[in-house]
Homo-oligomer: A and B are copies of this chain.
């Protein structure tokens, strides 16, 4: 193994659980962001390598775990229909990203001494 491949890394994951459901986590946050940027559920799922079934299941969860649905769809019109984030969907994504950024900053600050114990000693 090269020095690069064995460099220790901190991996951090935060989820919101509602009962047994994952209301949001890294995968659903990425899906929300992709819907926001593509304007399409199918395109967002493809961009993330998800099956259409899996994408729909994730959106069902996103639309039932929060006070209001996070994703809405439009049919017809000039653009032939599409999908977008609701205002609550935008807020959930923004607050999840802010939480994740705060956690990453804490991990940087408080994890350095732990990582140092796994650093290969220089020969």
- State the A residues within 8 Å of B (CB): 1, 5-6, 8-19, 23-24, 65-67, 88, 91-92, 95-96, 98-99, 102-103, 105-107, 109-111, 113-115, 117-121
Contacts and interface: CB of A to CB of B under 8 A. Distances in A.
Contacts of A99: 107, 110-111, 114
A66 to B, nearest CB: 5
A9 B19 CA distance: 9
A101 to B, nearest CB: 9
Contacts of A65: 8, 118
Q: From A8, A98, A109, A114, name the one whose CB has the most chain B CB atoms within 10 angstroms.
A: A114
8 nearest A-B pairs in the assembled complex, by CB-CB distance: A95-B114, A102-B110, A106-B106, A11-B15, A13-B13, A9-B17, A99-B110, A8-B18
